[in-house]
Amino acid sequence: MVQTEVSAKQLPLLSVNDLKVHFHTDEGIVKAVDGVSFDIMPGKTMGVVGESGCGKSTLGRTLLQIIEKPGLIDDGSIVLRSEDEEGNPYEIDIVNEHSNSRTMRAVRGQDIALVFQEPMTSFSPVHTIGNQIKEAIRLHHDVSEKEAQDRALELVTQVGIPNPAQRLSEYSFQLSGGLRQRAMIAMALSCEPKLLIADEPTTALDVTTQAQILDLLRDLQQQNGMAIMLITHNLGVIAEMADDVVVMYLGRAVETGNVNDIFHSPQHPYTQGLLRSIPSIYEKGIEKLPSIKGSIPHPFNRPSGCTFRPRCPSYMEGVCDLNDPVFLDIEGTSQAVACFLHHPPDGSSTNGSESA
């Protein structure tokens, strides 16, 4: 840990800089996360959006050092800023910590918690919901069995599970999808984390239950003051929940910015394509929704230059295929974009200044 003199609340809760996570397989190297940078501020919601396979879930797991082998963090930093029990600020670079170190075991659950994409496979099928929540509580806090039981009951009540005392003694397969997701959120909140990573929290749920889960997350954020990293492919969820957005494509962040700037003035052709594909209630008649042509390239056959160029309607031959775009701040907005439409290949620009 590195002690700091500035209060952690005045700085980003989490700073990710040029993070690269590669899977070294016999067939080749899969660049699941390839140079992503962003900050998450205390109490705010960061939305991470993109098509399936763009590296969203891998990014979320990397923040907790729970990448499955043969995945490795090849470069970058993940700086977590927090305070100890006496209120003294400190910093941890998660990249430099071993996945099974005492520091990382303390970070998981207590500082950063994860709501997995599929709660049915995340809970143990041979232990009750109550036992699993109590285990998480007693792992991080020196409390008695009775105190852990009371805290578990308080949590499942807080997340809106009916008949909470009965549900604690049930197994995950006895609960519906919506109740399992609520139970997963309750366990994630058991140690009052400063950052909650929600990986596709509304997947496979009906629209009514989806709305209830999102309302629950928003209410819990207001009550606990925690930050949320919301991973989803649903831009409607991002518009409703997020303060800031990271748009990912093939392991790279292609655009970042405030949610209002992203939705009202998207700068990258990929972001523009995603937004055009959203159905609108104002459209007259039945029309086929616009789609982004082509498909995501195979991870072992990444295009040279800009990875989006084979699908890009603004592709410039001799530019996009020969150079790697870098992030550039767009003057007058909160946005940064990696696209040659906004700066020439040499990195210079008349519209803004480069940012890492």
Q: Tens digits of per-residue pLDDT, 191-205?
A: 889 999 999 888 777
pTM of the model: 0.87
Higher pLDDT: 132 or 120? It is 132
Q: Please enumerate in sequence order all residues whose Cβ is within 8 A of that of 241, keeping only pairs 6 or more positions apart, or say none.
A: 45, 47, 214, 217, 218, 228, 230
Q: pLDDT digit string (tens) for 253-311?
A: 999 999 999 999 999 999 999 998 887 777 776 778 888 888 888 888 888 899 999 99
- At residue 23, the pLDDT reads 94
Pairing of strands 328-329, 252-258: unpaired
- The candidate with the shortest Cα–Cα distance to 66, out of 194, 232, 230, 197, is 197
Q: How far apart are CA 337 and CA 269, in angstroms?
A: 10
- For residue 133, give both structure tokens: 């929540």
- 172 has pLDDT over 70: yes
The average pLDDT across 141-169 equals 91
